[in-house]
Amino acid sequence: MSDMTAKYMAAEKLLPWNVRHAVLNEEPVIRKYDDDHFYYALETRDGDDVSVTFRIVDTNDGSEKDLFDHEALKAALQTDRISFTSCEAKDGAARFVYEDYDYIFRFETNELVREGFHQKRAVSVSPDKKKEVFVRDHDLWIRNTETSEETRLTYDGEKDFAYASIAEYSGYITDRVKGEPIVPDVLWSPDSSRFVTYKLDQRNVKDLYIIQSYDEDTRESIRPRLHTYKCGFPEDEDIPLAYYYIADAVKNTVTKADMAPQPAGGPLLSDGYSSVKWLEDSSAAYTTLIARGNKAASFIIMRPDGSTETVYREKAETFLNIRTYGQLDGFGGYNASNYMSEDRKILLWQSERDNFARLFRYDVRTKELLNAVTPADCIVGELIYADDVNEYIYFYASSLSCTSDPYYQLVCRAHYDGSSFEILTPGDGMHRCTVINDMLVDTWSRVDLPPVTELRKTDGTLIRELVRADISDLLARGYILPERFHVTADDDKTELYGILVRPRGFDASKTYPFIDYIYGGMQCYNVPKAFASSGKIEGREIMGGLEEFAQLGFAGIILDGIGTPGRGKEFHNVSYENIHGCAGLKDHVTVLPKLKKMYPFLDLDRAGIWGNSGGGCATSRAMLEYPDTYKVGVSSAGNHDQRMYNNQWTETYYGLYKKDIYIKGDNTSLAKNLKGKLYIVHGAMDDNVAMSQSIRLIDALIEEDKDFDFLILPRTNHNVPANPYFIRRKIDYFVRYLLEEEVPSYRFVQPE
C-alpha cells in the first residue's frame, strides 16, 4: 500500500457519510411536554450503533427520568434499540416515525398503534389536526379531517397567479423531479381558527431553463426533458409578487389584506422561517415587509378582517440587515428580530441605526419611540423569548467585552424599559438556548471546545449540567481540533478572526500547502463558531473538507474578512455595491504574510482555494483577480455574474439595478488573468444558480485561450459539495496540483 493510499483511507473516515453519528448529544432538541416539563433525546453509544432514550425534565427542580418505558416500546417494535431521535410527546403519548410508518405509543398502557405509512402530503395541517388546506387547480380548498368534507375557498386562482404557491427560483425543479408534494404555503393561527396565505403573481416573470439529460428510473424515454421555472433578474421590472390574504377556517372565507403586493422569494410562511407571526391569542398577526432594493422596511399589523396598520417604518442609505437567515435576526420560526406584545401596546424593533444592532421600544398606539432597550456597545441577534408579564426580552448578543471572539453570541435579557441588561450564560463560546417555563436550556461550545448543555433559571442561575457531548468517535477517526486565530487586516487595526487546521502528523520543521475554504456571500460569516462536526448543509463535509485535507498533508484556513455581518453596520457596509468584493476576499490575500509569521509552516507558494455557490464565485474571483496568490482553485456552483442571479439576493447588497455597478460582479471580464489551475464544477440540475453562469465563464476562458478543467454533474442540483464523486475529484485535484503528489487509484466506499 502506498503512503498516499493510506492517507486517502484516513481521509475516508471523516467523509460525511462516516461521521453522521460520530458526535452524540451535540445539541439536544428541547421540546415542551406540559406546563412543568420538557423532554429531549439522550444518545448513548451501543457498540457500533447509537441508542436513544427519551428523558423528561421537571422545570421546577431540574430532576429527570425516562419519559416512558423504553423496554416496552422496544418489545412492541421488535427491536433491540430505539434509533429515532424525534418524537412528539404530550398527554401521556408519543407520536413518532419508525421504518417509514407513523406510530403512537401510549405511556400508561404501553400500547403501540401503527397509524399508517408515513408520507409527506401536499396539505397544510392545522395545529389541532382537525383541518387541512390544499391547492387544487390553483385555488385554495379546506378539508375537515374528521368528516373528509371538502370546501372550496377561492375561485380566481390561475396558472402563475396561484394561491399558496412558492416563488420558483430556488429548489423548485429539484422538488418537481423528486416528486416531492408541494405543501401549500400557509401559516396557521395557534388556535387553528385562521391562517395567513398569499396569491403569487408570476405571470410576467421571465423563465429560466434546465435540460434534464437523462430520465427518471421509472420512465423509459431517453429523450432529454426541458424544465422551465420563473426567476426574476435584477434588471427585470417584473418579479414575483405576493398578495396577502387572511382566511377564516371556521366560516370558510378568505379576505384580501389591505396592502400592496410584496416582493417574494422562496417560501414566505414556512414553519421554520416565516415572514409573518401570529399573536398567541390568534386575534391578529404581524409582518415585517422589505421594499425592493432592501433600503426600507415596515412593521405591519394584519387583522382578520383584512385591515392593516403600519406601526413603524425604517429607511437606510445602504441596506437593512433584516431576514438574515437566522444568523443575525429572527424569533423562533419568524424571520425578523422584532416583537409586538400580546396586548398590542409595545413594539420592540431591532435596528442598526447606531451601528451595532439594538432593540428599541415603540408605543404601538402613538407610534412614538419610548426608549432603547439594549445598550449601544453590543449587538442584538435573534430574539429567544418575550416575557410580557415581567417585561423582559431574551435574546442573543455578541460583541461583548467578556468574550474572546466578537462573533460569539451569549444569552442575554433586558427589561422593556431599557434597564437590567444581563448576561445569563457566561461561557466563552457560541450559545443556543430554549426557554421552557422558568428555565433556560442552553447548549454552548467553540470550535475547540465540545458542546455542553446546561439548565439555568431564567435569571441565569445554574441548576446543573444536563448532558455533555461525546466526541470520542470523532477523535478516533482522526479529527483535528481547529485552532482559533485573529490577525489584523490590511489597515493594521481591524481584527479579523479565523481558524486553522494543522495537517496530520504535523512537523514544525516542514512547510505545507494550505487550502482557503471560502464562501464570499455577505449575508453570513463563514468561520464556524460552535463546535463543527458536520457540514452546515446535509451531506456536506466538516468545514468544507479541511479535516480530510489535513489527513492528506494540507493545512487549512477559514477567515472572515471585512464586509461580513456580525460586526456592526459600518463593518458590513464595505459590501454595499461590492458583491464582487466577496465579503472581504482582499483580506484573505493581504493577511497571508501575517499568517506566515504566526504559522511559519504555511507555504505561501502553494496556496489553494475552494468554495461553493458564493464560494464558487469567490474562488473564481480569487484565481482571476489575485492570480499570483492562489495556485489552485476548485469553484463549484458559482454565481460568477451577479446580473444573472435572482433579484432578491443580489439587490440586497447591490441595490436596484445599475449597470455600471452590476457589471463589476461579472467575473468573466477577468478571464485573461488566469495563471493557475482552475477546476469549474456545476450541477446540470442546479435550480438556484443556473449552470449557464459557469458555461459563460468557461466560454470567456476559451476566448482567452486559457487552460482549465470543467466538470458537469448531470444529476446534481445546487448542492454540489454533497456529491460523493465531486468530493473525491476535488481532493484529487488538490493532491495532484497543489500537493504535487500522484493520485492513487483508491476509491471511497459509500455505505448503501
- For residues 577-587, average pLDDT: 97
pLDDT of residue 220: 72
Q: Are 256 and 243 in contact (CB under 8 A)?
A: yes
Q: Fill in the amino acid letter for 309.
A: E
Look up the pTM and report it: 0.96
Per residue in 619-640, is it b (16+ CB within 10 Å) or e — as a string?
Answer: bbbbbbbbbebbbbbbbbbbbb
Across residues 615-627, what is the average pLDDT?
A: 98
Position 440, amino acid: L
- Average pLDDT of the residues in 274-303: 97
Greatest mean pLDDT among 100-114, 261-275, 529-543 lies in 100-114
Tally of CA atoms within 13 A in the half-sphere of 707 that contains its CB: 4
In degrees, rounded to 5, the angle at the alpha carbon of residue 469 between the alpha carbons of residues 449 and 385 is: 85
Mean pLDDT of 46-69: 94
Residue 46: band (very low, low, confident or very high) from pLDDT cuts 50, 70, 90 = confident
| pLDDT score for 750 | 86
pLDDT on residue 325: 62
Residue predicted with more confidence, 327 or 158 = 158
DSSP three-state, residue 727: helix
> What pLDDT score was predicted for residue 223?
86
Three-state SS string over 122-176 comes to CCEECCCCCEEEEEECCEEEEEECCCCCEEECCCCCECCEEECCCCCCCCHHHHH
Tell me the average pLDDT across 43-53: 92
Mean pLDDT, the chain, integer? 95
Identity of the amino acid at 610 = W
The secondary structure of 188-205 as a DSSP string is E-TTSSEEEEEEEE-TTP
In this predicted model, which residue has the larger pLDDT, 214 or 439? Answer: 439
Strand partners, 158: 161
| Predicted pLDDT at 346 | 98
Q: Residue 718's closest CA among 528, 521, 565, 502?
A: 521
Candidates 167, 131, 136; CA nearest to 154 is: 136
Separation CA 133–CA 648 (nearest Å): 28
Domains of the chain in sequence order: 3-17+473-667+719-737 (3.40.50.1820), 25-119 (no CATH), 120-320 (2.140.10.30)
Q: CB under 8 Å to 420, separation ≥6 — which residues?
A: 392, 413, 414
Q: Is 320 helix (H, G, I), strand (E, B) or coil?
A: coil
> Residue 394: how many CA atoms within 13 Å on its side-chain side?
25
CB 136 within 8 A of CB 151: no
pLDDT at 477 over 70: yes
Phi/psi for 176 (5° steps) reads -65, -45
Distance CA 107, CA 73 (A): 9
* For the chain, percent of residues with pLDDT exceeding 90: 91
Q: What is the pLDDT of residues 638-678, one digit of tens each?
A: 999 999 999 999 999 999 999 999 999 999 999 999 999 99
Is the pLDDT at 217 greater than 80? The verdict is: no
Least confident stretch, 40-49, 326-335, 704-713: 326-335
Strand partners, 555: 514
Paired with 501 in beta bridges are 556
Residues 6+ apart with CB under 8 A from 48: none
Q: Using an 8 Å Cβ cutoff, are 482 and 474 in contact?
A: no
CA pair distance 469, 452, nearest whole angstrom: 6
Alpha-helical runs (H) found in 599-690: 614-625, 647-654, 659-662
State how beta strands 187-188 and 207-212 pair. unpaired
- Grade residue 24 by pLDDT with cuts at 50, 70 and 90: very high
Calpha distance 10→558 (Å, rounded): 22
Query: Which pLDDT does position 724 carry in this prediction?
Result: 96
Query: What is the model's pLDDT at position 169?
Result: 83
pLDDT the model gives residue 1 = 63
pLDDT of residue 218: 61
Q: How far is CA 442 from CA 192, 451, 452, 533, in A?
A: 31, 10, 8, 19
Across 123-127, 267-271, 509-513, 609-613, least confident range: 267-271
Number of continuous H segments (helices) and E segments (strands) in the chain: 13, 46
Distance (Å, whole) CA 457 – CA 452: 16
Q: Determine the average pLDDT of the residues in 537-565.
A: 96
Q: How far is CA 581 from CA 490, 531, 573, 602, in A?
A: 15, 28, 12, 25
How far apart, in Å, are the Cα atoms of 37 and each of 166, 190, 412? 37, 20, 23
Calculate mean pLDDT across residues 602-615.
Answer: 98
Cell 509552516, residue located = 601
Instruction: Give, in order, the Cα–Cα distances in Å from 252 to each of 123, 128, 183, 349.
Output: 16, 17, 19, 34
Decide if pLDDT at 537 tops 90: no
Bridge partners, 578 (sequence order)? none
User: Tens digit of pLDDT for each residue in 554-570?
Assistant: 999 999 999 999 999 99
For residue 2, the model assigns a pLDDT of 83
Residue reference for cell 427585470: 236
Mean pLDDT of all residues in 578-585: 97
Which range among 153-167, 207-221, 379-393, 624-638 shows the weakest confidence by mean pLDDT?
Answer: 207-221
d(CA 156, CA 462): 57
Q: What is the dihedral of CA 566, 568, 569, 573, to 10 degrees?
A: -60
Q: Where are the beta strands (DSSP E) in 258-340?
A: 262-263, 269-270, 273-274, 276-278, 285-290, 296-302, 308-315, 338-340
Which of 475, 483, 474 lies closest to 555 in space, CA to CA? 483
